[in-house]
Structure 1
Amino acid sequence: MQSDLRTKLMQALSKANGTFISGQEIAEYIGCSRTAVWKHIEDLRGEGYMVEAVRKKGYRIVSAPEKVSESEIQFGLETKALGKMIHYQESVESTQKIAHQLANEGAEEGALVIAEEQVSGKGRLMRSWHSPKFSGIWMSLILRPKIPLHQAPQLTLLAAVAVAQAIEDVTELQPQIKWPNDLLINRKKVTGILTEMQAESDRIHSVIIGIGMNINQQKEDFPEDLQEKASSLSIESGVKISRAKVIQRVLLRLEDLYTLYLQEGFMPIKLLWESYAISLGQILKASTVNDTIVGKALGITDAGVLLLEDDQGTIHSIYSADIEIQ
């Protein structure tokens, strides 16, 4: 209940767009007393918001803290469902782990888990993910799609397109997608996506999409072994980026693509994914658990499987592998 009131308060202040909105208007909008409005405003001030209050005019937000808290994300959020319920903690082991717990407890579709840092963040194949404090975006989103189990990997590709679009919205950068789950800028990794599923043999209970984005790190913030492989939006653009704004755009782009996907299937998502793909037409080395295959990337199937043609003309279906562009 308190979370719903906070969401509506942030919506009211956001719609005012920097102008004053009266306490009475806010109270009517969120369905509480003016005293309760005042208490919520004081809570915002305690979180670092500068809220101006003028008698007979009301309240307006002058500035917001550089955090990715519930209030910061919801102030200006344009989605209908994604991100309306936010679980924020400053430091966590892994947002994926918390999202799995919440999904098991019945959290609604669109619930978002986000943290300022992860101390045990993970990527594909249980690799660790460098997740320092106050510099990146470490979040996990709960979806509950009514789709067959074999289509769940398509949501990883959908998420990659949404993040690429969001980066373009917020910056002048041109991201590219490396199959299956990395986003690159100037051939350096800025984003990783991890999709996990809770399901029975015949149906999906939830899909947890984990997104790790390097936003404001500088080169020296990365471990030495990553400095030539990883980058951030700030390094590539030369300016500091609002993490909350990136999150808002990712959620909005995700919601739009997810709606399109549920209505029209994977084909429009596939076409968008291919438009961002760095690997199509390139010679790739795919290292799987049992083999290493070198071949030309022909594209992806409707299931999101990568197709490689080797120098003998044999086409290999790659379901999971480490990919290097040759």
Structure 2
Amino acid sequence: MKLNFKSPFLFLPLLFSFSLSDLSSDFYSVSCPNVELLVKDTIRFASSTDPTLLGKLVRLLFHDCIVEGCDGSVLVQGNRTERSDPANRSLGGFEVVEEAKRMIEALCPRTVSCADILVLAARDAVEIAGGPSVQVPLGRRDGLTSSISNVRPNMIDTGFSLDEMARLFSSKGLSIDDLVILSGAHTIGSAHCTSFSERFQQDSKGNLVPIDSSMEKDFATELIKQCPANANDTVTVSNDMVTASLFDNQYYRNLLDGRGLFKSDSVLFVDERTKGKVERLAEDEDEFFAKWRESFVKLAGVGVKTGERGEIRVSCVNVNE
């Protein structure tokens, strides 16, 4: 099976036993009481000139949490780090996380972890895009290592079946319900044409034709128009072509219409175990937002490090010397 290293968010078969018991929503209430405001203001200002940043930050959090847990290890620069793997080279949002870190270090030196800043940044990105506000527990510490060797074995392809995805989610304490809800992150952001290329093939004239019957015909035609056979690997399309910049439940409506961008999206409406969930979320945005709050907190708790298992980095791009 071909691994696709430009998928918008991917999950891994690592067994995580996580608990939020060491985290709390008021963790920085004394040591850095303005941390949440500082992060939100940074994200709001940056996204006002680059709206694509919001989707990038959500994706960045997913790619952090799936490898070594939510420990900021994806932010570290350098050869052979997680960030250098092909799966992560198309990620964005690093600069705004580092900018928030610089501001916070000036006011609260060696106090707030990059891992917490990234969780807050992704949380705020969803809210700024029109999604729900979420209260997240804080107190994560930054990972002490970041290794490329931990990335590739733990990535899955967007062509995976529901069984494969459910098994991987279960290994991290996440349910099929969480899978359906967290897939709703595809309501914002964009994806490279190569991330869904397996749904097409070239005919004798070199033109792309759809081979995935679950795609609605006009949608497939539009994808071919935006991603022709000669498109280079930097070309992207919106995950949700209807309300591309708005965090809403349009993603689920798209699935009902055969307009899921990835095969891993489409299977959610094809499989009877998840079809009813998709239908309910397509009808009720309030339910989606309520469930998003729960699943986001669960995701942000995967593999968290506290105490001596981590550190507070001075800069998010470097592990402390």
TM-score when scaled to structure 1? 0.27
Q: Larger % of strand: which?
A: 1
Identify which of structures 1 and 2 has the higher relative contact order when contacts are C-alpha pairs closer than 8 Å and 6+ apart.
2
Q: Which structure has the bigger radius of gyration? A: 1
TM-score when scaled to structure 2? 0.28
